[in-house]
Amino acid sequence: EVQLVESGGGLVQPGGSLRLSCAASGFTFSSYEMNWVRQAPGKGLEWVSYISSSGSTIYYADSVKGRFTISRDNAKNSLYLQMNSLRAEDTAVYYCARDLGQLHDYWGQGTLVTVSS
């Protein structure tokens, strides 16, 4: 059974940093591209970042480019999102999602990030 479990969310002050993790199981993690998607409270879905299976290709949404860094450790079956210079508008539930040919076929349950003083 495919499982994606996010962790690392919490309360952080504006300008602070946070590192999210996504632990994958039930599939060959190293063969799949992965994504982070977020959802602000009461709002719609917003794609954040994409990473290829090897980590050699990375894309970011304009709203996070230069502040967020996506990475992966295929030996640990884990996906990461390093978030720096956080702003109030980054407050959201962050989901990791498996990529399957330009769509997201499995999602984690999400981790909440709150940016507030």
Angstrom distance (rounded) from CA 83 to CA 17: 5
68 contacts other proteins (rule: CB under 8 A) = no
**Please, which residues bridge with residue 92 across strands?**
113
Q: How many residues of this chain bind other proteins (CB under 8 A)?
A: 20
Contacts of 9 (CB under 8 A, 6+ apart): 18, 20, 93, 94, 111, 112, 113, 114
For the record, the structure tokens of 81 come out as: 């999102």
38 binds other proteins (CB under 8 A): no
Q: Binding of other proteins at residue 46 (CB under 8 A)?
A: yes
61/82 with CB nearer other proteins:
61
Binding segment (CB under 8 A) for other proteins, from list 11-19, 20-28, 60-68, 74-82: 60-68
Q: Does residue 27 belong to the site contacting other proteins (CB under 8 A)? A: no
Contact, 73 vs 67, CB < 8 A? no
Residues that bind other proteins (CB under 8 A): 35, 37, 44-47, 50, 59-62, 95, 102-105, 107-110
